[in-house]
Structure 1
């Protein structure tokens, strides 16, 4: 029998009567994410890329960046660091050529600073730990398993980030390879996953199918895996991007049974595709001692000032001017609409789902075999038939115990790979539909009729300002950037916080070039007087003294065409452009610009090389 009726037992405690929380609350919020970086320290990893950064140093920089983000996002998660293929040994088991740099612990500032120093000091690494090819991958897995056991976290996810260039460890030694597979199977049985981040050195390509394809527990290995392994990296920036992409462990929003018909039920689990990122909560401290204070809430009777317990209180709502009193059990009965579940009600054509029906962000569901065996097969057939027939499923969703029922539409999505090489998952979008009570009646507009001439001019203005290939990933929240940059600067004892690149600011210069004439024509057609001069705000820059009596060239006279950028790139003179101009060019090519000028120049050079 399913245990979904007992899901989220913490909801039994009565809360203040506020707006009902929706299904976007993550049920696994108490889970800790435990990650151990297992980094290959053999000699090939110390070779440098085209930017002069060794692959080993790049891995350490990624680990430092990973720690910084963990401090911001989830400071209760744990992280450890293990080197293998070292000359020196440092571990409790006494295994040779394995060096435990950090035990599993919460991220802190000292560890980040130590990692950054270690990444920038190649001589210290080579002298203190050295390199050796005589190691056992099975013993590396054993060491990581013991570190997880010492952590003592019962409710947690456990992952090993394996960074190596060797696609076939222990070539020719079947015993060591067999031991590695046995130990990897033990890790999988313990719920520990291995996420491989391969490194390509020189002209040697990393072949995933040689050894790691058949290694148990490796993400992307096996025919039934729902994920794909990370592609090989040649540079530090590529490795960092892939590690940060897997930084946040996916946590389910809800796990419920999907009742397709009487006697036919499968399990599904839902995830949030979009969730607003907010600043963390601050903590109150005693002003005199800096000790953390504890918040205590007490209830008192307004008439007698006597302290009350939760069992001494009732709730009431006002109806018709009267107070209607309810006990706690009566309130729970009112809130109960059934056990958590997703019930199929019927089907509609896909075109019947209008954009205006999105009352909140959608969820995404996958099959879940943990409660109902065979769910994946039924789910796949259900998805396939709806996709072929162009239908959507209308369902009733109760995401958790005591949650309000919602009408939802299941929109099928077949898996594929997009133009950027990113995998689009296969599953259903859960679109929350409005009730009749949610609809708003908009009064008829009393605005005067607009002439077709004015309409056409307005359309030209809009079309000229359309952002081509808009991608939300190119726009970071400036409030969060500034907040965390300042926190990080203070915590890491740095003199200045990094300047943020506020991509939400309008690019007035580019907008004026693209639509200035059309805006002027539109204003003239409306009878508005055109200003004598259009003032374009520019960031304050340091004045540069002209050489040999020449005059400084105006920014508006600079040729910003693609041919001009190509010519400057060929001559190695891209630095003559400003950061804003370089960023504008990259955005026009659907590429996310970096923050530093040197990185922007490198991005443009890579664009023309491609």
Structure 2
């Protein structure tokens, strides 16, 4: 059984000889206009009402494909049921004919075929509708049963809409037109032209849904609780909520019907790359860069927001709530509980009190048990006493508000003259959007709040529709209807021209050329970066090459190891009497920064620094290099930098062997010469990414 509030629509589209040519040479033919309208209707169904049912009947087709033609010989000819009632999909659009044919059909018989399909293919509470698109140039055979057919449409509650000719105009006369008018009148249908229909279908609009009701008690203190109902008024949502991945068939260039994307979640240990069962996983919370495990015994210590509630914490002046204090993804309206007159009367009293005192309420909202609490503000909304409610908007936390300090403007040199102030007032009046369109538009107001669509969303939906019909072509530019949303209304542009010219004369702007100060460049060595003095010309900094930086660097007294020329820094500090043990921490920090904070994958400087560090350790104390390298390799594996691990092996920057060092101070026991040639096996452990299956790597790439 079809769900409630579902529309079952059959479109009867005339593709015969009578619609193939246009009445005016410069205009489009009736067939092309009808085809564009059908495409927009089905696109609207796919985007906003995917649960509706849609069917297509072609009038004037070469084929005769309908049930009634099989039952009645010689009748219902050239009527083809192209698509039975089904959910709207892109294949229906692909099957539409590209051009009109030379046959002709009877539109009255096509309506009977459509009614038969609606009656036998729908069940339950469904809104039945037939949309007829024909120019009535081919006369229909109207028999004595026309009144019986009309009564059948009324009994089955089938609405008939006619798009194309304006049949209620006096220009159209004849028996066909009279019968078509009766179909529209007795079934409460509509008759619109293609121009008006396309104007309605110009933009994709969201499906109108009843807002979800949230019943809760509005508590004030410990003893007052008012039963209220909260409705979502405005909600910001993503254009496409869920994408479903499909495997593309290279032959048909469409989604495969036999292959799909299979996802499976596994827990992998980073130590030995083995799978861990879900019951052996200990949940943890990230505290900064550390994972803090939480056992079942500690769950009672976690914060609990409690049951759902809407509690007023206090009241404050409306002026204390600025626009930048508000957040959230929508606005809700609060009324007294539906059907509870006392609750609504109490809420009305609260609203009037807040309005008279110029105050708002601050409330704590918990949508459901276990949800995080959010602070909201209650604004009174009174619209000429016809619409009274409280609006509910989320509030920012203090740390989310960024305060920006601006220089004072109440200085004498910033004071404006009366003439300048009046010029700005005239500009504001000229740019009034309430009277911005001329007589060519139905409404004088430009960009009305309740009707203006989001151009970005419209373009995304247009691209989806285009890609569905043209999978191999590049996406088009935004259509003119979307570009128009960015243009200044004609009357506003005309009225604002004079005030703008007056403002240009009253406010003479002079371009100030900031001359760069020439000063001595000073380089400040740090372990991670190089900073320059403020006197340096910033536009010259990108032109300075590495050799110039090194010369400037060497001219300064070296006090620490930097990333510009770390080897020279190490040599200078060693010559000053510092030992390798003193410089070990600085050296390893510079090497790690050169590898971890690297955006061009050029590790030459880092490897050269490692080579110098290793050479000094061979001649001094191998443990400085070996102990660090073991930890460094482990960190590289965790960061998935296997390319650096291979470079270390290729450059022979492995652990220092005992044969390389002449000193006898070793940190590991020399128990067996064959097994102790290295302090530790200098090979890539089995837990690296090299042993991970390619399927698992692809999964991580998608994530």
TM-score (norm 1): 0.50
Paired residues of 1:35 and 1:160 also in contact (CA < 8 A): yes
1:180 to 136, 145, 156: 156
1:403 to 371, 394, 415: 371
| 2:39 alignment partner in structure 1 | 64
Do the aligned partners of residues 436 and 393 (structure 1) sit closer, same or farther apart at CA in structure 2, a change above 3 Å counting?
A: same
Structure 2 residue 347 is matched with structure 1 residue 374: no
For residue 300 of structure 1, report the CA deviation from its aligned partner.
1.9
Matches within 5 A, 1:144-163: 145-146=122-123, 163=131
Q: Distance in 1 between matches of 2:67 and 2:382?
A: 48
1:81 to 55, 71, 75: 55
Where 1:80 maps in the other structure, the secondary structure is: strand
Where 1:430 maps in the other structure, the secondary structure is: strand
Paired residues of 1:267 and 1:367 also in contact (CA < 8 A): yes
Structure 2 residue 449 is matched with structure 1 residue 491: no
Structure 2 residue 234 is matched with structure 1 residue 257: no
| 1:306 alignment partner in structure 2 | 274
Do the aligned partners of residues 310 and 427 (structure 1) sit closer, same or farther apart at CA in structure 2, a change above 3 Å counting?
A: farther
Q: Distance in 1 between matches of 2:301 and 2:146?
A: 63
| 2:168 alignment partner in structure 1 | 202
2:66 to 90, 110, 118: 90
For residue 112 of structure 1, report the CA deviation from its aligned partner.
1.2
For residue 174 of structure 1, report the CA deviation from its aligned partner.
10
Gaps of 5+ in 2: 134-144, 171-179, 434-445, 514-703
Structure 2 residue 70 is matched with structure 1 residue 102: no
Do the aligned partners of residues 234 and 448 (structure 1) sit closer, same or farther apart at CA in structure 2, a change above 3 Å counting?
A: same
Q: Distance in 1 between matches of 2:318 and 2:146?
A: 54
Where 2:232 maps in the other structure, the secondary structure is: strand
Where 2:500 maps in the other structure, the secondary structure is: helix
Q: Distance in 1 between matches of 2:183 and 2:380?
A: 34
Q: Distance in 2 between matches of 1:404 and 1:521?
A: 54
Where 1:359 maps in the other structure, the secondary structure is: strand
For residue 79 of structure 1, report the CA deviation from its aligned partner.
4.3
What are the Cα deviations for residues 213-244 of structure 1, in whole angstroms up to 9, with x where unaligned? Answer: 8xxxxxxxxxxxxxxxx9x5532232244457
Paired residues of 1:82 and 1:101 also in contact (CA < 8 A): yes
| 2:8 alignment partner in structure 1 | 36
Gaps of 5+ in 1: 1-30, 150-156, 185-193, 214-229, 417-423, 530-610
Paired residues of 1:32 and 1:77 also in contact (CA < 8 A): no
| 1:275 alignment partner in structure 2 | 237
What are the Cα deviations for residues 263-302 of structure 1, in whole angstroms up to 9, with x where unaligned? Answer: 8645544254443536975848589998654344432223
| 1:234 alignment partner in structure 2 | 192
Q: Distance in 1 between matches of 2:117 and 2:23?
A: 26
Paired residues of 1:258 and 1:343 also in contact (CA < 8 A): no
Larger radius of gyration: 2
What are the Cα deviations for residues 315-370 of structure 1, in whole angstroms up to 9, with x where unaligned? Answer: 334669986432479669846524446567787887776434432343345889xx
Do the aligned partners of residues 244 and 442 (structure 1) sit closer, same or farther apart at CA in structure 2, a change above 3 Å counting?
A: same
Q: Distance in 2 between matches of 1:60 and 1:383?
A: 53
Do the aligned partners of residues 379 and 363 (structure 1) sit closer, same or farther apart at CA in structure 2, a change above 3 Å counting?
A: farther
TM-score (norm 2): 0.45
2:415 to 435, 452, 459: 452
What are the Cα deviations for residues 444-493 of structure 1, in whole angstroms up to 9, with x where unaligned? Answer: 63679442148975995796488541627667545972784487167337
Between 1:91-100 and 1:245-254, the stretch displaced more is: 91-100
Q: Distance in 2 between matches of 1:293 and 1:207?
A: 53
Do the aligned partners of residues 257 and 248 (structure 1) sit closer, same or farther apart at CA in structure 2, a change above 3 Å counting?
A: same
| 2:393 alignment partner in structure 1 | 431
For residue 257 of structure 1, report the CA deviation from its aligned partner.
0.9
Paired residues of 2:56 and 2:83 also in contact (CA < 8 A): yes
More relative contact order, 1 or 2 (CA 8 Å, 6+ apart): 1
Structure 2 residue 293 is matched with structure 1 residue 325: yes
